[in-house]
Amino acid sequence: MIQQGGSRFRRLLGGLLNAALPPHCLSCEAPVLEQGTQCAACFRKLTFAVAPLCRRCGIPLPHAGLDICEACDRRPPLYARARAALLYDDGARALVLPMKHGDRTELALPLARHMARAGAELLREADLLLPVPLHWRRLLARRYNQSALLARHLARLARKPSIPDALRRTRATRPLGELGAIARRAELDGAIRLAPRHAARVRGQRVLLIDDVLTSGATAETCAAVLLAAGAARVDVLAAARVPLRG
Ligand SMILES: [Zn+2]
Ligand SMILES: [Zn+2]
């Protein structure tokens, strides 16, 4: 009987479950109308990163007369543009930290939806989405890369390809003699490399790096250096949240 009316049975079961367990807020116990959303009080705690933003790194600017922050004016970052959905405050932490450390992987989709809005232009112009990699030891401990989860959802929402393991964390380095300035910097840092079998996928492409939290932007810059050295046409960065100051 279950096999015969499989989907009807699942729908019925879904309805019964919803009746038994009414949907509640992603961050607290308050009831909400739709599964996978936040209650009004928790939603109000989120601070969206809105204009005026630095056109390069995306940090909020004090007034609309500016279009670039002091740090980017002094030394432009290696990536073209970085954007984040949220400012990394208590409201954002309540979504990001449980996703990162608490196995609450269902939080990735609502965060990705916020990112899709904040990064609409970057997503539209991207050829390829790549998550910022996690070191394999952390990956073993955590069992998933939170940035790869976000990238998977964003790839589906924006209908763009994404390669979860193209970038890897490593410490190995190769001889620096023949490399240009950008490549050398990437190599010296040595923390991140592009998997050789994916190198051809990056050449000439506009790559959008996906990260959970942008802090100083140093990791994003290291990834950008690696990708530009491999021939990427441009690298943008889209994060769920960003620390509002650049170090
Ligand atoms: Zn709530
Ligand atoms: Zn800036």
pLDDT tens, residue by residue, 137-157? 777 777 889 999 999 999 999
Average of per-residue pLDDT across 25-36: 90
pLDDT at 187: 56
Q: Which residue has the tokens 């608490």?
A: 102
Alpha carbon of residue 234 to chain centroid: 17
169 CB-near residues (< 8 Å, 6+ apart): 133, 134, 135, 136, 191, 192
How confident is the model at residue 2, as a pLDDT? Answer: 41
* Residues forming beta bridges with residue 86, ordered by sequence position: 48, 241
Q: What is the pLDDT of residue 89?
A: 95
Q: Predicted confidence band at 18 (pLDDT cuts at 50, 70, 90)?
A: low
Average pLDDT value over all residues in the chain: 87
What distance in angstroms lies between residue 58's CA and the mean position of ligand 1's atoms? 28
Q: What value does the mean pLDDT take over residues 202-227? A: 92
Question: Domains (ranges, CATH) in the chain?
Answer: 1-44 (no CATH), 48-242 (3.40.50.2020)
Give the pLDDT confidence of 77-101 residue by residue, as tens digits. 999 999 999 999 999 999 999 998 8
Q: What is the mean pLDDT of residues 34-53?
A: 93
Q: Find the 24 Cα to ligand 1 centroid distance in Å.
A: 8
How much is the pTM? 0.84
pLDDT per residue as tens digits for the range 160-177: 999 999 999 886 444 445
Which residues lie near ion ligand 2 (Cβ < 5 Å)?
Answer: 54, 56-57, 69, 72
Residues with CB under 5 A from ligand 1 (ion): 25, 27-28, 30, 39, 42
Q: Is the pLDDT assigned to residue 242 strictly greater than 80?
A: yes
First-to-last alpha carbon distance for the chain, in angstroms, is 63
